[in-house]
Amino acid sequence: MSELRKLEVLRAIVEDYVNSREPVGSKALVDRHRLGVSSATIRNDMAALEEEGLITAPHTSAGRIPTDKGYRLFVDRITEVKPLSVAERRAIQAVLSGPADLDDVLERTVRTLAQLTNQVAVLQYPTSLNSAVRHVEFVLLAPHQVLLVLILDDGKVEQSVFDLGQQLSSEELSELRTQFLSALVGTQVSQLSSALDAVLGLAPVTVDAAARVLAEGLLALAQAAREERFMVAGTANLTRSNVDFPLSIGPVLDALEEEVVMLRLLSEMAQDARGVAVSIGRENSYHSLSEASVVATAYGSGTAKLGVLGPIRMDYPNTMATVRAVARYLSRILAG
């Protein structure tokens, strides 16, 4: 028995089942694929694949479908992720290009990925642990109330309104802003606390209470920027694939809603030499995702990932290519 032909039979079964949702029989394989052998030979190959746990019969018919193990072997034998077509690359570029803040870029990215793959797109916000302060702004809303804005060099913008605890004039707030700016611009978020202590040591006694509120407010905004955040788009695509979740789609939807499960899973997934990570069915460390597959890759500085979640019956080659391409466009935008 030819090992190479057996793998070709597995590839044909995966491709046909992904396209049709129907169990695949030997005659269909002979009719649709140039395998160069008879139906009897294909049946023998299918029996060997079934014995190895790579395909299974969902019911008493001649058709077979891939198992999680079969999909894994199929994915591992994708030696190279194919590039997207020119039209697909232009579509991604058209949607993602253009000036916008980080939130807008990430939102457009996750929507685009969901549309291109017809799956649920998921995205980790980039961590700001190693980011630095690009700018701070104080906007006086009332004599004792200020809008505090913190802008980091990774594009994140955090803002909130604080009560200063004392009344300040526009001139006094402007002087404090100058002091904070000179001390904080270029400071890493992880070093912000000590830099703020230095600023407070220079603040005039007359505005001491307000300066402390501003310092505490900036620390709070920096902490908010460091918190793990998650974006999702295309959940409706998952519900349209209800037939691919024979037990229940509920656990998958719960995992998406909880967020922490997906954040942990994305953090745990390690990319291979092709620049993507693929977790199939029961390979997922969370039981709620045992009927789903996740394809993900890192973007930007490599500390955060984006990807798609869908049924195990997934078009892996195209999904892997699309996820990687979108991540590369996003990385270029963030670097620019």
Flag whether 327 is in a domain. Answer: yes
The model's confidence at residue 127, banded by pLDDT at 50, 70 and 90, is: confident
Indicate if 62 and 90 belong to the same structural domain.
Answer: no
Flag whether 322 is in a domain. Answer: yes
Higher pLDDT, 263 or 227: 263
For residue 266, what are its two tokens? 């994305």
Task: Mark which of 226, 245, 270 sits at the end of a domain.
Answer: 226
**pLDDT above 90: residue 165:** no
pLDDT given at position 132:
87
Flag whether 81 is in a domain. Answer: no
pTM assigned to the model: 0.77
CATH number at residue 71: 1.10.10.10
CATH number at residue 173: 3.30.390.10
Higher pLDDT, 151 or 242: 151
Flag whether 33 is in a domain. Answer: yes
**pLDDT above 70: residue 202:** yes
The 8-class DSSP code of residue 276 comes to: -
Rounded Cα–Cα distance for residues 261 and 144 (Å): 42
Query: Could you read off the pLDDT of 264-273 as tens digits, one per residue?
Result: 899 889 888 8
Indicate if 188 and 207 belong to the same structural domain.
Answer: yes
pLDDT given at position 241:
64
Percentage of the chain modeled with pLDDT above 70 = 95
Rounded Cα–Cα distance for residues 120 and 117 (Å): 8
Rounded Cα–Cα distance for residues 241 and 127 (Å): 32
The bridge status of strand 292-299 relative to strand 230-233 is unpaired
**Which residues is 264 bridged to in the sheet?**
none
The bridge status of strand 133-142 relative to strand 145-152 is antiparallel
**Which residues is 123 bridged to in the sheet?**
231, 306
Report the 10 Å Cβ neighbour count for 40: 10
**pLDDT above 90: residue 166:** no
pLDDT given at position 148:
95
Residue 281: closest CA among 307, 320, 256, 310:
310
pLDDT given at position 178:
92
Report the 10 Å Cβ neighbour count for 306: 24
Report the 10 Å Cβ neighbour count for 213: 18
In one-letter notation, the amino acid at residue 57 is: A
Rounded Cα–Cα distance for residues 255 and 184 (Å): 39
pLDDT given at position 70:
96
